[in-house]
Amino acid sequence: MTNDCLFCRIVAGEIPATVVHETDETLAFRDIGPKAPVHVLVIPKEHFTDVAALAVADPGLAGKVLAACAAVAAAEGLTEDGYRVIFNAGPHSGQEVFHVHAHVLGGRPLGPMVSA
Ligand code: 5GP
Ligand code: ZN
């Protein structure tokens, strides 16, 4: 638990979130500013700054985060039409919250992978 981390505070129940999937080690909740009809954030409950830090420290947990993304996509009805999973990392990505999170996006055609 990192006191000044927004997502650690969501894990701790100090800040409300609309949780759609949970395991012992992961949590998935709806993004507060959705960029698609389905926009869910999937996080490990343990704090890591970004996907690289998570993968180096605990590759098994990184795999569990990916499995949770797939479970969320299935539960949200995205499996057939498809969806996108994004990890932002560092300044050029625009990462704003420094607790690793996967964005699971879908529910309409998502367009080009990045803007020009
Ligand atoms: P990043 O830019 O770091 O990859 O993504 C951070 C995401 O967290 C953004 O899509 C933003 O809308 C979302 N977000 C920021 N604050 C909150 C919050 O308090 N609750 C929820 N559910 N999402 C948040
Ligand atoms: Zn955190």
Residue by residue, pLDDT tens for the chain (116 residues) are 667 999 999 999 999 999 999 999 999 999 999 999 999 999 999 999 999 999 999 999 999 999 999 999 999 999 999 999 999 999 999 999 999 999 999 999 999 999 87
Q: Cite the active site residues.
A: 101
Q: Which residue has the tokens 């499996």?
A: 79
* Alpha helical stretches, state H, the chain: 6-11, 51-57, 59-75
> Cα–Cα–Cα angle for 73, 50, 6, nearest 5°?
80
Distance 28 CA to ligand 1 centre (A): 12
| Residue 11 near ligand 1, beta carbon < 6 Å | no
* The residue type at 34: P
Distance 40 CA to ligand 1 centre (A): 10
CA distance 83 to 70: 10
> Cα–Cα–Cα angle for 87, 95, 13, nearest 5°?
85
Residues linked to residue 105 through DSSP beta bridges, in sequence order: 39, 84
Q: Which two tokens stand for residue 73?
A: 């996509």
Beta strand spans in the chain (E): 19-22, 26-30, 38-44, 83-86, 102-106
